[in-house]
């Protein structure tokens, strides 16, 4: 108790030194917490864009469909497979895929038709929230479609305009029909933006004369299940089908994300080193300014262990104050970064490797957002105080009192 009282009095006898030391640690912790939130937000945001709009966590196809897409290469009994997938606790939805031609006025373009069940598809994809103009599909209006933004520009159409669709049906006949544009999507991916035509499953089956089957099943895993574990579980119940995780479907993007994660972690450690140097300087200043005072204490009979304990307790008190201040100051900062974010205007409407990029970079807060920076700060302070504390503990009183 006497040691604690003396340590408390010591840190406030030199208010300027204490304020500088606590401020340095508070700034360090504040920066680490905000950066940790932004770092987590970056990875979560990138993966969310990849998974929520089109890919999902796992996709199921008929064998050879990805190598040779064909209207006839379909999953025979998708409803049965969907039931098995949902029994495992996953969310899933089947889609129909086909190619063809779309025209409006004197313009035409090759398109990819995608038949979706609106209610079920909304459980695995957020693309229904990604409509820039008009509205998303409605089951009661099968003659209305939603198209990609670049396709809308190519054809010169807006919501309410008519679109002529042409292809070959499953029975060998010519498939052609007239649809009304119900909505135009925001930027999703290069392929969807240029060629995507979304329609209801009923409209797709009527257009292509395809009465059963599905070409693609998108699966979303529950929180806490690893992607490899989810893919393997689906493979167990989808024998004879092609089951791929999103990392296997887009290995280049997965590799890019891993590389960026490694780079960001390196930057994280560089920041930690800079912060460590800052705190080390503060702790050295806090001890070496008191060398003569410490010499007097040792001359009065205080042991090296007592001096070491005094400096350590002072550091603990200052670190505790810095942690409280850093946590308190980080709350409004994190709230701003979560709700408003940083508008990366130069990336607005752009894409990375064919995928749309959200121009607003927002933070994501998890337990690690606070625990890791606090833990790292404690480790840095511990390492920073060891050398000056040991030097003060072993210095001889005569040397200390002559210290300039």
Cα–Cα distance for residue pair 241/215, rounded to 1 Å: 11
Query: What pLDDT score was predicted for residue 7?
Result: 77
100 in Cβ contact with 166 (< 8 Å): yes
Cα–Cα distance for residue pair 256/277, rounded to 1 Å: 32
Q: Which helix (H) or strand (E) holds 275?
A: helix 251-288
Residues facing 59 on adjacent strands:
218, 244
Helix axis angle, 304-339 to 367-394, nearest 10°: 160
Confidence of residue 404 (pLDDT cuts 50, 70, 90): low
Average pLDDT value over all residues in the chain: 83
Whether the per-residue pLDDT at 271 is higher than 80: the answer is: no
Strand bridging mode 162-168 / 91-104? antiparallel
Percent of the chain with pLDDT over 90: 25
C-beta neighbour count of 367 within 10 angstroms:
7
pLDDT: is 77 or 269 the higher one?
77
104 in Cβ contact with 155 (< 8 Å): yes
Q: Which pLDDT tens digit goes with each residue over 198-230?
A: 999 999 999 999 888 899 999 998 888 888 888
Query: What pLDDT score was predicted for residue 276?
Result: 72
Query: What pLDDT score was predicted for residue 162?
Result: 92
What is the DSSP secondary-structure string of 336-401?
HHHHT-EE-GGGTT-EETTEE--SEE-----HHHHHHHHHHHHHHHHHHHHHHHHHHHH--HHHHH
Cα–Cα distance for residue pair 243/236, rounded to 1 Å: 10
Min mean pLDDT across 102-111, 116-125, 342-351 is at 342-351
- Tell me the mean pLDDT in the region 267-283: 74
- Tell me the mean pLDDT in the region 240-247: 87
Cα–Cα distance for residue pair 238/147, rounded to 1 Å: 31
Q: Which helix (H) or strand (E) holds 59?
A: strand 58-62
Query: What pLDDT score was predicted for residue 379?
Result: 84
Whether the per-residue pLDDT at 115 is higher than 90: the answer is: yes
Whether the per-residue pLDDT at 112 is higher than 90: the answer is: yes
**Residue 20: which of 331, 321, 372 has the closest Cα?**
321
Q: Which pLDDT tens digit goes with each residue over 347-399?
A: 444 555 555 556 677 888 888 888 888 888 888 888 877 877 787 777 777 77
Q: Which pLDDT tens digit goes with each residue over 28-65?
A: 889 888 988 888 887 777 777 777 777 888 999 988 88
125 in Cβ contact with 177 (< 8 Å): no
Query: What pLDDT score was predicted for residue 403?
Result: 60
Q: With the CA atoms of 151, 153, 159 and 161 taken in that order, what torsion angle do they form, in degrees rounded to the nearest 10?
A: -90
* Sequence-ordered list of residues with C-beta below 8 angstroms from that of 60, at least 6 positions apart, any chain: 75, 81, 216, 217, 219, 234, 238, 241, 242, 243
Query: What pLDDT score was predicted for residue 207?
Result: 93
Burial class for 15, CB neighbours closer than 10 Å (0-12, 13-18, 19+): exposed
DSSP letter (8 states) at residue 55: I
For the chain, the first-to-last Cα distance in angstroms comes to: 32
Report, in this order, helix, strand and coil percent for the chain, each rounded to 5: 55, 20, 25
Percent of the chain with pLDDT over 70: 93
214 in Cβ contact with 79 (< 8 Å): no
Give the angle 11-16-18 at the CA atoms, nearest 5°: 35
* Sequence-ordered list of residues with C-beta below 8 angstroms from that of 141, at least 6 positions apart, any chain: 182
Q: Which pLDDT tens digit goes with each residue over 141-168?
A: 999 999 999 999 999 999 999 999 999 9
Query: What pLDDT score was predicted for residue 348?
Result: 47
**Residue 215: which of 84, 51, 110, 60 has the closest Cα?**
60
- Tell me the mean pLDDT in the region 273-290: 73
Residues facing 96 on adjacent strands:
115
For the four alpha carbons of 186, 190, 192 and 195, in that order, the dihedral sign comes to positive
Looking up tokens 């001889």 gives 396
Helix intervals (H) in 51-135: 78-87, 118-121
Whether the per-residue pLDDT at 13 is higher than 60: the answer is: yes
């Amino acid at each position: 108790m006497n040691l604690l009282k003396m340590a408390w009095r010591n840190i406030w006898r030199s208010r300027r030194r204490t304020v500088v030391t606590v401020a340095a640690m508070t700034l360090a912790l504040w920066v680490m917490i905000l950066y940790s939130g932004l770092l987590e937000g970056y990875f979560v945001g990138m993966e969310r864009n990849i998974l929520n709009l089109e890919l999902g966590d796992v996709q199921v196809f008929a064998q050879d469909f990805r190598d040779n897409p064909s209207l006839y290469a379909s999953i025979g009994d998708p409803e049965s497979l969907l039931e098995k997938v949902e029994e495992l606790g996953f969310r899933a939805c089947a889609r129909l895929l086909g190619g063809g031609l779309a025209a409006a006025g004197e313009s035409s373009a090759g398109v990819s038709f995608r038949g979706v069940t609106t209610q079920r598809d909304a459980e695995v994809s957020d693309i229904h929230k990604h409509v820039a103009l008009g509205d998303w599909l409605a089951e009661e209006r099968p003659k209305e479609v939603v198209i990609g933004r670049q396709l809308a520009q190519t054809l010169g159409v807006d919501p309410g305009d008519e679109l002529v669709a042409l292809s070959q049906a499953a029975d060998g006949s010519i498939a052609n029909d007239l649809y009304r544009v119900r909505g135009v999507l925001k930027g999703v991916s290069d392929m969807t933006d240029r060629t995507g035509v979304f329609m209801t499953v009923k409209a797709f089956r009527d257009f292509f004369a395809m009465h059963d089957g599905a070409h693609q099943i998108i699966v979303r895993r529950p929180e806490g299940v690893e992607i490899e574990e989810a893919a393997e579980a689906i493979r167990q119940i989808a024998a004879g089908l092609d089951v791929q995780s999103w990392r296997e479907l887009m290995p280049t993007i997965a590799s890019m994300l891993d590389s960026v994660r490694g780079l960001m972690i390196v930057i994280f450690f560089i920041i930690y080193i800079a912060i460590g140097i800052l705190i080390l300087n503060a702790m050295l200043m806090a001890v070496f300014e008191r060398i003569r005072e410490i010499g007097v204490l040792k001359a009065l009979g205080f042991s090296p262990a007592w001096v070491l304990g005094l400096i350590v307790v002072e550091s603990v008190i200052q670190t505790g104050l810095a942690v409280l201040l850093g946590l308190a100051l980080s709350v409004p900062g994190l709230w701003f970064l979560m709700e408003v974010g940083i508008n990366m205007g130069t990336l607005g409407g752009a894409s990375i490797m064919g995928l749309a990029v959200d121009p607003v970079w927002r933070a994501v807060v998890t337990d690690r957002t606070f625990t890791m920076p606090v833990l790292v700060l404690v480790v840095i302070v511990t390492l920073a105080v060891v050398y000056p504390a040991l030097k003060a503990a072993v210095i001889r009183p005569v040397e200390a009192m002559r210290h300039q």
